[in-house]
């Protein structure tokens, strides 16, 4: 392997490891000199939260010429011996016999990351370097840990990962504005007789876009393989400028056959618990950092989440709870009555004030929900569910799907959607139809909830938002 011993494996080892020869590679965090004839170098390699201390004695060949000139950000390779530390703060350290500078920081004064606290807004402007900071290193590891846990959870429970397409030619859900993709010459697009752009001459022979959801595609595989999921990037061209929206984000969308809304909520609960349990077990170092520096309650919050059962609430019940709150003097900007879509302030009240933890709201009025959601027997509501979390709002949106062709068609008509556009989706209801359900979990929102980070732009490596795709 080209790289040295991961620091993570050194942190995990005890004093008995002293005496072994090792090689370390990484980036300098800080250097402190002691005129006793040594320098202390903190080196970080990303394998864990902690940096590792290298003790550089002044008899190194390049001590004066190079070691004393190391600054934050320099890439180095060190060979030496693992020894018990004589200082406080670490049990082991490396006594270097050779330090090779692999990459200098050409102008230390202009290196954007200093060994001090930076604002997240500033770090977004140096997104190519921010993974070298404590917070973003931790975010990187947490994000990986949760992504792996997603796949492990589904794999262990018999789900198959379906790679749904990124390019789509149908705006199936109307789930927001889409990004068009085209190979047509924008300055000189072919026109049809009506003067409209003639997309039949475009690459796919029709108008095509980046996906806003893999749901409709994954439903087709669900209706053959029973338990499936997608996990990939999703795109929305909405001009939303908030701390919880991205133009490109990652979404987890499981879909289960022979299942109803209760099974769906059970799945969401089971999966989230699994994810947070894995996070607390596998990333104790990073979570301790988030607890200390970002959000004091984050670990406690996850532990409680894992222990307690999901709070479940009917939409109708949620409305009456909100009405009761209004009667009790609670002020909302938007009025509450049965039939409204819950506003952010209402969701906040339910999850933050009334319940104090995530809550599943189920069975919404059909008029405010999508065409594919199953109409309940009361014919007023559909089997939809949202999982609302304190601080972030909706992290999951899901539903039992309408499996009855006649009802589905009626809904399409109601909403003025052309049936022919959904011919293959309708086929599922004609050939061996089956009750099935699924949901979408916003990956970035999940990370925000878990870590206490305030903005989804800071839990994805390169955030894409309106007017921002610099990196």
**Considering only residues 425-464, where is the footprint of RNA by CB under 7 A?**
440-442, 444-445, 454-457
Residue numbers 189-208 binding RNA by CB under 7 A: none
Q: What is the CA radius of gyration of the chain?
A: 27
Handedness of CA 403, 173, 316, 349 (dihedral sign): positive
Q: Give 261 or 456: the residue with its C-beta nearer to RNA.
A: 456
Q: Which of 109, 307, 377, 420 binds RNA (CB under 7 A)?
A: 109
For the chain, count helices (H), then strands (E): 12, 16
Q: Which of 71, 157, 262, 433 binds RNA (CB under 7 A)?
A: 71
Residue numbers 1-40 binding RNA by CB under 7 A: 30, 32-36, 38, 40
Which three-class secondary structure string do you get for 372-429?
Answer: CECECCCCCEEEEEEEEECCCEEEEEEEEECCCHHHHHHHHHHCCCCHHHHHHHHHHH
CB of 108 to RNA, least distance (A): 4
CB of 185 to RNA, least distance (A): 25
Rounded to whole angstroms, how far apart are CA atoms 463 and 245? 10
CB of 245 to RNA, least distance (A): 4
Q: Give 115 or 131: the residue with its C-beta nearer to RNA.
A: 115
Taking contact as CB under 7 A, which single stretch among the options 7-15, 231-239, 305-313, 413-421 is the one that binds RNA? 231-239
Check if the beta carbon of residue 285 is closer than 8 Å to that of residue 247.
Answer: no
Q: Give 89 or 416: the residue with its C-beta nearer to RNA.
A: 89
Q: Give 190 or 461: the residue with its C-beta nearer to RNA.
A: 461
Residues 6+ apart with CB under 8 A from 261: 362, 363, 374, 383, 384, 385, 399, 400, 437
Q: Which of 124, 301, 374, 411 binds RNA (CB under 7 A)?
A: 124
262 alpha carbon, distance to own chain's centre: 25
Residue numbers 331-390 binding RNA by CB under 7 A: 334, 341, 343-345, 347-348
Q: Which of 89, 158, 195, 329 binds RNA (CB under 7 A)?
A: 89
CB of 13 to RNA, least distance (A): 17
CB of 259 to RNA, least distance (A): 19
Q: Give 199 or 449: the residue with its C-beta nearer to RNA.
A: 449
Check if the beta carbon of residue 124 is closer than 8 Å to that of residue 204.
Answer: no
Residue numbers 248-267 binding RNA by CB under 7 A: 249, 251
Q: Which of 11, 58, 75, 108 binds RNA (CB under 7 A)?
A: 108
Check if the beta carbon of residue 301 is closer than 8 Å to that of residue 392.
Answer: no
Residues 6+ apart with CB under 8 A from 107: none
CB of 419 to RNA, least distance (A): 21
Rounded to whole angstroms, how far apart are CA atoms 148 and 163? 16
Residues 6+ apart with CB under 8 A from 95: 55, 57, 80, 81, 83
Check if the beta carbon of residue 216 is closer than 8 Å to that of residue 205.
Answer: no
Residue numbers 172-191 binding RNA by CB under 7 A: 175-176
CB of 466 to RNA, least distance (A): 7
Taking contact as CB under 7 A, which single stretch among the options 79-87, 352-360, 374-382, 403-411 is the one that binds RNA? 79-87
Verify binding: residue 128, RNA, rule CB under 7 A: no
Residue numbers 284-323 binding RNA by CB under 7 A: none
Rounded to whole angstroms, how far apart are CA atoms 294 and 448? 11
Distances (CA, A) of 57 to 37, 88, 96, 104, 313: 6, 18, 7, 20, 65
CB of 265 to RNA, least distance (A): 14
Check if the beta carbon of residue 99 is closer than 8 Å to that of residue 106.
Answer: no
Verify binding: residue 86, RNA, rule CB under 7 A: yes
Residue numbers 38-57 binding RNA by CB under 7 A: 38, 40, 53, 55
């Amino acid at each position: 392997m080209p790289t040295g011993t991961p620091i993570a494996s050194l942190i995990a080892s005890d004093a008995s490891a002293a005496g072994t020869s090792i090689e370390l590679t990484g980036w300098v965090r800080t250097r402190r000199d002691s005129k006793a004839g040594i320098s202390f170098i903190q080196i970080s390699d990303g394998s864990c939260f902690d940096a590792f201390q290298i003790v550089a004695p002044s008899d190194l060949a390049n001590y004066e010429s190079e070691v004393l000139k190391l600054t934050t950000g320099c890439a180095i390779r060190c060979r030496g011996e693992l020894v018990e530390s004589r200082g406080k703060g670490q049990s082991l350290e490396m006594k270097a016999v050779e330090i090779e500078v692999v990459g200098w920081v050409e102008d230390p004064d202009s290196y954007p990351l200093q060994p001090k606290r930076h604002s997240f807004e500033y770090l977004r402007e140096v997104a190519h370097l921010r993974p070298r900071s404590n917070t973003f290193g931790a975010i990187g590891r947490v994000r990986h840990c949760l992504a792996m846990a997603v796949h492990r959870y589904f794999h262990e429970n018999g789900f198959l990962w379906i790679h749904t397409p990124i390019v789509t030619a149908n705006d199936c859900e109307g789930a927001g504005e889409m990004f068009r993709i085209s190979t047509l010459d924008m300055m000189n697009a072919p026109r049809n007789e009506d003067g409209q752009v003639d997309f039949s001459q475009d690459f796919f022979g029709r108008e095509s876009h980046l996906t806003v959801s893999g749901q409709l595609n994954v439903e087709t595989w669900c209706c053959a393989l029973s338990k499936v999921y997608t996990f990939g990037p999703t795109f929305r061209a909405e001009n939303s400028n908030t701390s919880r929206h991205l133009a490109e984000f990652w979404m987890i969308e499981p879909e289960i056959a022979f299942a109803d809304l209760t099974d769906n909520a059970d799945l969401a609960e089971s999966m989230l618990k699994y994810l947070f349990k894995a996070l607390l077990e596998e990333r104790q170092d990073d979570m301790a950092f988030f607890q200390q520096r970002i959000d004091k309650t984050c670990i406690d919050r996850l532990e409680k989440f894992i222990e307690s059962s999901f709070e479940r609430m009917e939409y109708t019940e949620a409305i009456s709870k909100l009405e009761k709150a209004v009667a009790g003097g609670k002020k909302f900007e938007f009025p509450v009555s049965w039939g409204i879509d819950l506003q952010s302030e209402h969701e906040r009240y339910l999850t933050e004030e009334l319940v104090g933890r995530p809550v599943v709201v189920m069975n919404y009025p059909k008029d405010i929900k999508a065409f594919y959601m199953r109409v309940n027997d009361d014919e007023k509501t559909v089997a939809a569910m949202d999982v609302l979390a304190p601080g972030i709002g909706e992290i999951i949106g899901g539903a039992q799907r309408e499996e009855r062709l006649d009802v589905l068609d009626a809904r399409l008509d109601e909403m003025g959607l052309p049936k022919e556009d959904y011919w293959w989706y309708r086929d599922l209801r004609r050939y061996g139809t089956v009750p099935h359900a699924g949901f979408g979990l916003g990956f970035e929102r999940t990370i925000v909830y878990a870590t206490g980070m305030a903005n989804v732009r800071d839990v994805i490596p390169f955030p894409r938002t309106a007017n921002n795709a610099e990196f």
